[in-house]
């Protein structure tokens, strides 16, 4: 009977894998990812420029170069949310019933980390800000219950989603302020057009509990900080076009502005070294290291790719290493384990390059990763 069933399969009908396994035949299966990810597994985010309705993230093993799985994220994909307390992955995306026309629907999709397939979704107001991806597009608050997504229509606001209950909570108006930088339990801050920070607090149900606007801490017209700040413990490090670091302590209810320091010496400036890229900063928390993607360029080159990664000890605020990259990079990331890897990608060449952050040696290159890599994330 099994032979008959196999013939039926060949006759364009279906056959169960169990049946196939009995004879000289492979058992056809569907792979799943293990419950625990490895520290060197890396997310490679691709907005799919040219087909922005179809953004993707690829999970890649930076040790072996193995391609592990694809996450089909959806339209104007920016970044993943990777909670440590729930076995879930989230991404905000924009959909149209006819790919790029019809009624717009914005959703937060909940993915299963073992299949990278959707298990649920929460519809949010169709107003999320889109464009060149930034990791500050959305964030989970520190207790990981609420996800905040930045909206712009051009009115500026934030959508709050309760990821525990999987329901939309509310849209909070935040005029003049943009993007999401989580700062504590039910709290995040936003960058405002006058160089100040807006701290937004949430009630226990996720609704807005009040906003506090700081004094301006930089001049957005003379030397703006980029949107691509990195967080290390309770500090957000904002870095300006001219290479000044503005550390902001967010342990308390209101931000504390710590002393500014420079990534560049006078000599570096004379040589036109500049920060630049779409994701130009990374940190290693335990080692207290800051990685900055650098290039020589003129003013307004803050989005140009870099060919060096400079490494700073955040305790001494001194540069301790200069890694010359083999080729341009527009995004960098560092794994958070004790044998960290430095990861780089360039939006114009769909590959991931892996470096030893101590020796600067290029360890390997993983090619054919989508079309336009916009960001890198670690678990």
Partner 1 sequence: MKLVDRWVERSVRGVAQRTSRRHFMSRLGVLLVGGSVLPLLPVARSNESSVADLPDDASLEGTAGDPRSCNYWRHCAIDGAPCSCCGGSQTACPPGTELSAITWIGTCRNPGNGKNYIISYNDCCGKSTCGRCMCFRSEGDKPIYVPQKSNDINWCQGTNSNIYHCTIAAVIGQSADE
For residues 358 and 360, give the distance between their C-alpha atoms in angstroms, rounded to a whole number.
6
Q: Which of residues 134-153 bind partner 1 (CB under 8 A)?
A: 134, 152-153
Tell me which DSSP letter residue 225 carries: B
> Which residues, at least 6 apart from 193, have a Cβ–Cβ distance to it below 8 Å?
176, 177, 178, 220
The residue with tokens 């009908």 is 13
Residue 71: CB minimum distance to partner 1, A: 8
The answer for residues whose C-beta is within 8 angstroms of residue 82's C-beta and 6 or more apart is 43, 89, 377, 379
**Residue 179 touches which of partner 1, its own copies, none (CB < 5 to 8 A by kind)?**
partner 1
Does 129 sit near partner 1 (CB under 8 A)?
Answer: yes
- Residues in region 34-93 near partner 1 by CB under 8 A: 49-54, 56, 59, 67-72, 75-76
Stretch that binds partner 1, among 199-207, 258-266, 333-341, 342-350 (CB under 8 A): 342-350
**CA-CA distance, 284 to 290, in Å (whole number)?**
7
Question: Can you tell me which of 303, 317, 319, 362 binds partner 1, judged by CB under 8 A?
Answer: 303
Residues 150-209 that bind its own copies (CB under 8 A): 154
Helix (H) or strand (E) holding 281: strand 281-284
Which residue in the set 65, 83, 118, 184 belongs to the binding site for its own copies (CB under 8 A)? 118
Among 120, 176, 207, 318, binds partner 1 (CB under 8 A): 176
Site track for partner 1 across 191-210, x = CB under 8 A: xxxx----------------
The answer to whether residue 371 forms part of the interface with its own copies (CB under 8 A) is yes
End-to-end CA distance of the chain: 48
Tell me which of 23, 34, 35, 50 binds its own copies, using CB under 8 A.
50
Residue 31 to residue 60: CA distance in whole angstroms: 15
115 touching its own copies, by CB under 8 A = no
Other CB atoms within a 10 A radius of the CB of residue 289 amount to 20
Q: How far is the CB of 98 from its own copies (least distance, A)?
A: 6
Q: How many CA atoms lie within 13 Å of 237's alpha carbon, on the beta-carbon side?
A: 25
Smallest Cα–Cα separation from 232: which of 259, 250, 220, 215? 250
Residues of the shown chain interacting with its own copies in the complex, contacts defined by CB under 8 A: 12, 48, 50-51, 53-54, 72, 74-75, 95, 97-101, 105, 107, 109, 118, 154, 370-371
């Amino acid at each position: 009977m099994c032979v008959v069933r196999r013939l039926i399969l060949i006759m364009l009908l279906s056959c169960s894998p169990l049946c196939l396994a009995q004879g000289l035949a492979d058992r056809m299966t569907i792979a799943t990812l293990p419950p625990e990810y490895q520290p060197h597994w890396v997310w490679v985010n691709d907005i799919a420029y040219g087909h922005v309705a179809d953004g993707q993230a690829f999970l890649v093993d930076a040790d072996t170069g193995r391609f592990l799985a694809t996450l089909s994220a959806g339209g104007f994909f920016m970044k993943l949310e990777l909670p440590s307390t729930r076995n879930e992955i989230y991404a905000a995306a924009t959909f149209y019933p006819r790919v790029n026309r019809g009624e717009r629907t914005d959703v937060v999709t909940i993915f299963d980390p073992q299949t990278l397939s959707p298990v649920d979704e929460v519809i949010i107001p169709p107003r999320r800000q889109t464009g060149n991806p930034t990791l500050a597009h959305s964030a989970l608050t520190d207790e990981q219950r609420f996800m905040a997504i930045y909206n712009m229509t051009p009115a500026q606001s934030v959508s709050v989603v309760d990821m525990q209950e999987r329901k939309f909570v509310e849209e909070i108006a935040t005029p003049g302020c943009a993007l999401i930088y989580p700062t504590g339990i039910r709290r995040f801050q936003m960058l405002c057009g006058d160089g100040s920070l807006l701290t937004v607090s949430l009630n226990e149900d996720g609704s807005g509990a009040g906003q506090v606007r700081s004094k301006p801490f930089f001049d957005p017209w003379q030397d703006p900080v980029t949107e691509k700040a990195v967080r290390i413990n309770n500090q957000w490090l904002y870095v300006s076009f001219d290479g000044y670091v503005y550390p902001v302590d967010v342990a308390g209810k209101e931000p504390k502005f710590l002393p500014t320091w420079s990534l560049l010496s006078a000599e570096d400036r004379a040589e036109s070294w500049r920060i630049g890229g779409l994701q130009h900063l990374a940190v290693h928390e335990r080692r207290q290291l800051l990685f900055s993607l650098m290039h020589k360029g003129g003013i307004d080159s803050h989005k140009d790719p870099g060919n060096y990664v400079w490494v700073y000890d955040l305790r001494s605020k001194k540069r301790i290493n200069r890694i010359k990259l083999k080729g341009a990079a527009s995004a960098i990331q560092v794994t958070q384990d004790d044998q960290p890897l430095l990861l780089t990608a360039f939006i114009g060449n769909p590959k991931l390059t892996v470096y030893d952050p101590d020796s600067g040696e290029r360890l390997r290159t993983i090619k054919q990763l989508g079309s336009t890599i916009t960001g890198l994330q670690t678990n």
